[in-house]
Chains A and B, each alone.
Chain A
C-alpha cells in the first residue's frame, strides 16, 4: 500500500517543554489508525502538527514523497488534502448546515456553488444530517454538530481524515451516533487517523493502534497485539487504568 503521510523525527516544543520527542510514524492509504494514550501525552499536538495547525519544531513531514515543511511548500494546498474533525466541533457559526459544507469547496477548491451543494448533500446524507440543511449550528445537539463537522471535512474530499477526540465533548447518549458514522467511513476504505478514548471503538475499527506516552510513541501494532498482548509495561498500565474506569 502507498504511504500517504510519513513523519520523520518530528519534535515539538512549547517554550522549553518538549511535547513531542522524535516521532516516526506513517499512514498508508486506506488505513485506519487510532492513537491512544493518557491526557497530556501529546496526541492532539501530533495531529495538529500533521496538518500544521502547530508548526513542528523539527523533523520532516512527508506527504506523497514531498517534505511539506520545506519553505517553498504551500501549506494551504496541503491542508485541503487533510480533513480535520475537532473535539469542539468548530462549525462556522455564521453559516447554516449546508453552507458549512459548501463554503470551503467554493472558496478553497473553487467549485461552482451548484456542484458544491451536490457534494455537500451527498456527505450530509452519509452522516444523516441531510434533513437539517437550513439549521444553524447553535440549533443542533452536540452529536448533530459533530456529524455536520464530519460532513464538512468530507465535502473537501480529502485524502486523509484526522479526528481529535471527536466524541469527548459529547453527552454519553450521543457518542454512539457519531461512532456509527465513523465506523461506516472506516469500512468504506477512507484513510483515517483518530485520537480517541473509546477503547472498544478503537479495537473494532483500527487496522493499527498507536500508544503514546509522554511525547513518544511507546508502542504500536494491531489492535489484537496492543489490547491483548502489549509488550510494554506502560501500555499495560494505561490499559489497566482506562479499561477499569470505563
Chain B
C-alpha cells in the first residue's frame, strides 16, 4: 500500500520535489560560500597583531569586540529563530518585505560565517610559528605573509570543515520553511498537505536529503584527496629545462 503511494507521489510531484531540492542546494551552497568568505575575513581581522599602543590599537580592539559579539550571538541562538527575527524584523524596520530567498541566503551565510570565523581563526593560530618567522625574515609584511604563506595553508586545512558545514547547511535549510522559502521541506509539506500522505511524502524527502548529502560528501572527499597533491616529484635530469618551462 505504502510503496504504491510512494511511486504515485513521486510520479505526480517529481518536478516539485526536484525544484525544492534545487532550492535547498542553492541556498546551502551560496550560504556556505558566502559564509566561508565572511569567516575568512573575520578570521583574518581577528588575527591581525594588535600594536602596543596608538589609535590603531583602540580601533582594532573595538572591531574585535564587535566581531566576537557577532560570533557569540549567532552561535548562541537557533537559526530558525534568527530567520524569523531577520525576515519579520526587516519588514518592521524598513517597511518592506524582504525577498524570501534573499533572507534565507542571508541567514544561512551569516550563520555559517559565525562558525567559519572560529574555524579560520583556529586554523591561522595552528599554523607553525616558523612559517610566519620565515616570511617575516625575508621581509614580508603581515598582509604578504598571510596572502602568500599562511592563508593558502589555512584554506587547505579548513576545507574539510567547510565541506562539513555545507552538508550541515543542506539539512538545516529545512528550518527556513518558517519563512516560506520553497526549499525541499516546505515543498514536501505542501505536497503532503494536498494528498494527506505524510509518511510517504516525507519518506521521499528523507531519501532526497540523504542522496544530496551523500553525493556532496563524496565530491568533497575527492577534492580533498586531489588537494593533497601528488605523492611524487620528478627529479630533473636537466634543471635548465625546468627554468625555461615554468
Binary per-residue interface labels of chain B (134-174) against chain A in the complex, 1 for a CB within 8 Å, 0 otherwise: 11111111001000110011001000000000000000000
Chain B facing A: main interface SS: helix
Name B149's contact: one of A92, A136, A139 (CB within 8 Å).
A92
Would you call A107 and B235 a contact (CB within 8 A)?
no
Q: Is A219 an interface position by the 8 A CB rule? A: no
The segment out of A19-27, A78-86, A171-179, A204-212 that lies at the interface is A78-86
User: Which B residues are CB-close (under 8 A) to A103?
Assistant: 148-149
Would you call B233 and A117 a contact (CB within 8 A)?
no
Distance in Å: Cβ of A15 to nearest Cβ of chain B? 15
Give A108 to B142 CA distance when docked, in angstroms: 12
Q: Is B49 an interface position by the 8 A CB rule? A: no
Would you call A98 and B236 a contact (CB within 8 A)?
no
Supposing A76-B139, A131-B235, A134-B236 touch, asked if A108 and B133 sit within 8 A by C-beta, the answer is no
Supposing A53-B133, A80-B138 touch, asked if A107 and B239 sit within 8 A by C-beta, the answer is no
Name B139's contact: one of A90, A104, A131 (CB within 8 Å).
A104
Binary per-residue interface labels of chain A (118-135) against chain B in the complex, 1 for a CB within 8 Å, 0 otherwise: 100100110000111111
Would you call B140 and A108 a contact (CB within 8 A)?
yes
Q: Is B234 an interface position by the 8 A CB rule? A: yes
User: Which B residues are CB-close (under 8 A) to A135?
Assistant: 233
Q: Is A16 an interface position by the 8 A CB rule? A: no
User: Which A residues are CB-close (under 8 A) to B139?
Assistant: 76-77, 79-80, 104, 108-109, 156
Nearest A residue to B138 by beta-carbon distance? A104
Binary per-residue interface labels of chain A (148-181) against chain B in the complex, 1 for a CB within 8 Å, 0 otherwise: 0100110010000000000000000000000000
Q: Is B13 an interface position by the 8 A CB rule? A: no
Number of interface residues of B (CB under 8 A): 30
Interfacial residues of chain B within 89-126, with CB under 8 A of chain A in the complex: none
Nearest B residue to A153 by beta-carbon distance? B138
Q: Is A38 an interface position by the 8 A CB rule? A: no
Would you call B246 and A98 a contact (CB within 8 A)?
yes
Would you call B138 and A108 a contact (CB within 8 A)?
yes
Nearest A residue to B141 by beta-carbon distance? A76
Supposing A98-B242, A108-B144, A132-B233 touch, asked if A79 and B130 sit within 8 A by C-beta, the answer is no
Supposing A94-B153, A121-B243 touch, asked if A139 and B140 sit within 8 A by C-beta, the answer is no
Nearest A residue to B237 by beta-carbon distance? A131
User: Which B residues are CB-close (under 8 A) to A80?
Assistant: 138-139
User: Which A residues are CB-close (under 8 A) to B195?
Assistant: none
Nearest A residue to B240 by beta-carbon distance? A121
Supposing A121-B239, A134-B234 touch, asked if A93 and B131 sit within 8 A by C-beta, the answer is yes
Give A124 to B233 CA distance when docked, in angstroms: 16
Distance in Å: Cβ of B187 to nearest Cβ of chain A? 43
Give A93 to B239 CA distance when docked, in angstroms: 22
Supposing A76-B139, A80-B139, A152-B138 touch, asked if A88 and B149 sit within 8 A by C-beta, the answer is no
Q: Is A45 an interface position by the 8 A CB rule? A: no
User: Which B residues are CB-close (under 8 A) to A131?
Assistant: 235-237, 239
Would you call B130 and A86 a contact (CB within 8 A)?
yes
User: Which B residues are CB-close (under 8 A) to A91?
Assistant: 134
Distance in Å: Cβ of B232 to nearest Cβ of chain A? 8
Name A117's contact: one of B136, B156, B236, B243 (CB within 8 Å).
B243
User: Which A residues are CB-close (under 8 A) to B76?
Assistant: none
Interfacial residues of chain B within 211-242, with CB under 8 A of chain A in the complex: 229, 232-237, 239-240, 242
Would you call B131 and A90 a contact (CB within 8 A)?
yes
Nearest A residue to B139 by beta-carbon distance? A80
Distance in Å: Cβ of B128 to nearest Cβ of chain A? 8
Q: Is A51 an interface position by the 8 A CB rule? A: yes
Would you call B236 and A133 a contact (CB within 8 A)?
yes
Give A96 to B134 CA distance when docked, in angstroms: 15
> Using a CB–CB distance below 8 Å, which chain B residues touch chain A?
128, 130-131, 133-141, 144, 148-149, 152-153, 156, 229, 232-237, 239-240, 242-243, 246
> Using a CB–CB distance below 8 Å, which chain A residues touch chain B?
51, 53, 76-77, 79-80, 82-84, 86, 88-96, 98, 103-104, 107-109, 113, 117-118, 121, 124-125, 130-136, 139, 149, 152-153, 156
Could you pull out 8 A-B pairs where Cβ atoms are within 8 angstroms? A51-B137, A79-B137, A86-B130, A108-B139, A108-B144, A130-B239, A134-B233, A134-B234
